[in-house]
């Protein structure tokens, strides 16, 4: 091949830019590279230079994990797959000019853009939450919760675990609740202190996905077995120093409180005309292309998903983990098709993605399986038992190995 032909080939290669390097971003970047057999330029821009296995944050406050156990540097993985990595926070998107701006002012052009910028906590939904309680939804916050837990063990008292109005990550709230019960029992405190669960769910086991057959009874049995009190279908008015105050006025004193808030998208996305809604989520089609731009995709929490029900207290939808991966693969398949000059016809409506989850409960747990994420469904089952705990332990190790080596084509 002559030098002129080589230069023309490089110029003609399509550029895919991915914002985010965790579940959605890493999966999308590696999958599109794999689908096109490397014949595409892929760049990942991320504010974090580490992959985080978020599902294990439930264990970190109790000392069962630390950051080194559940993270790894993403640059070596991307480098091994000929993907450029830029450690910088995106601050602006211009879908007309097809450019993304980062914090230091650099601009990156693209032919196709994947927005996988994840979530941030809506700390303002409950006044006093940031100052007077902890959460486990980010690595830094989980580490702070660990510090609070160690202080708590020196001067124990009642514990409150809560998922606020608008929250969608109820699985993490349940897992932390049952792991707390397990830790209290191990410390010999279970008979001395009161453990209370507060949730916006209209019934136990709703999980933000409408519930599954016999889920309410099963979760009720778990709570009864562990001696956990519950406040269901209730919002939180505010959090005082040492007390959680419900919307109806009831006050629940606590010596340790963990609260799961709602999530928001990233603010900078709202500045791009018509790209994101008021929460910073990108409105997408079932192809995960944005509603307004065929060359812009959004996956994971960054993608807007309509809540298909009304509940007395607002309830969100979980978009993390398995659903994020499925969205990312769908987006990658469509980008690969577009690069080949074909239409983007791969679809996977969020509600049609399978529900696959393992809820850990210390030394017990529940395997959650359903043919669809959202109702109506044909099949759904909850399988309780200690095998669920062992399955989560095994899956953590497998998934971190898979992602570290870039094997996103594996299940």
The answer to whether the CB of 29 falls within 8 A of the CB of 114 is yes
Whether residue 357 lies in the annotated active site: yes
Q: Which residues contact 172 (CB under 8 A, 6 or more apart)?
A: 55, 57, 58, 136, 137, 260
Give Cα separations from 273 to 9, 113, 263, 293 (angstroms).
34, 16, 22, 11
Query: Of the candidates 372, 313, 323, 364, which has an alpha carbon nearest to the alpha carbon of residue 174?
Result: 364
DSSP for 177-222, please give it.
HHHHHHHHHHTT-TTTS-EEEEE-SSSTT-TTTT--TTHHHHHHHH
Residue from 52, 100, 223, 357 carrying the catalytic annotation = 357
For the chain, the straight-line distance linking the first and the last C-alpha, in angstroms and rounded, comes to 39
C-alpha span between 402 and 6 (Å, rounded): 34
* Bridge-based pairing state of the strands 355-360 and 365-370: antiparallel
Closest CA to 108 of 92, 121, 122, 123: 92
Backbone angles phi, psi at 225, to 5 degrees: -60, -40
CA distances from 201 to 86, 111, 159 (A): 40, 42, 19
Report whether the peptide linkage leading into residue 343 is cis, meaning its omega lies within 30 degrees of zero.
Answer: no
Spatial neighbors of 285 by CB under 8 A, at least 6 apart, are 291, 347
d(CA 324, CA 8): 36
| Catalytic residue selected from 17, 36, 58, 169 | 169
Q: Catalytic amino acids?
A: 169, 357
């Amino acid at each position: 091949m002559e030098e002129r032909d080589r230069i023309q080939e490089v110029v003609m290669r399509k550029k895919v830019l991915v914002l985010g390097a965790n579940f959605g971003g890493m999966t999308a970047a590696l999958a599109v590279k794999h689908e096109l057999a490397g014949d595409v330029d892929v760049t990942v821009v991320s504010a974090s230079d580490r992959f985080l296995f978020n599902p294990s944050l439930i264990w970190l406050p109790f000392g069962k994990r630390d950051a080194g156990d559940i993270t790894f540097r993403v640059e070596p993985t991307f480098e091994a797959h000929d993907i450029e990595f830029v450690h910088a926070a995106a601050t602006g998107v211009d879908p007309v000019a097809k450019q993304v701006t980062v914090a230091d002012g650099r601009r990156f052009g693209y032919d196709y853009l994947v927005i996988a910028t994840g979530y941030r906590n809506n700390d303002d939904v409950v006044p006093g939450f940031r100052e007077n309680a902890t959460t486990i939804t980010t690595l830094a916050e989980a580490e702070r919760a660990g510090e609070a837990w160690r202080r708590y063990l020196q001067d124990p008292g009642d514990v409150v675990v809560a998922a606020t109005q608008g929250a969608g990550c109820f699985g993490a709230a349940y897992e932390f609740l049952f792991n707390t019960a397990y830790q209290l029992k191990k410390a010999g405190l279970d008979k001395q202190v009161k453990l209370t669960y507060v949730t916006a769910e209209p019934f136990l086991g709703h999980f933000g996905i409408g519930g599954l057959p016999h889920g309410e009874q099963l979760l009720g049995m778990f709570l009864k077995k562990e001696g956990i009190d519950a406040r269901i279908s209730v919002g939180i008015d505010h959090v005082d120093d040492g007390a959680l105050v419900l919307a109806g006025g009831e006050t629940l004193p606590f010596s340790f409180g963990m609260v799961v808030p709602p999530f928001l998208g990233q603010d900078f996305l709202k500045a791009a005309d018509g790209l994101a809604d008021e929460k910073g989520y990108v409105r997408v089609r079932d192809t995960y292309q944005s509603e307004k731009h065929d060359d812009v995709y959004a996956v994971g929490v960054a993608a807007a998903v309509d809540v298909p029900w009304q509940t007395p207290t607002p309830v969100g939808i979980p978009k993390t983990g398995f659903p994020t991966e499925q969205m990312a693969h769908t987006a990658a398949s469509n980008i690969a098709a577009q690069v080949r000059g074909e239409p983007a016809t791969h679809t996977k409506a969020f509600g049609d993605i399978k529900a696959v989850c393992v809820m850990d409960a210390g030394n017990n747990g529940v395997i959650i399986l359903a043919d669809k994420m959202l109702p109506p469904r044909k099949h759904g089952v909850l399988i309780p038992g200690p095998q669920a705990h062992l399955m989560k332990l095994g899956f953590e190790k497998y998934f971190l190995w898979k992602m570290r080596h870039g094997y996103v084509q594996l299940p």
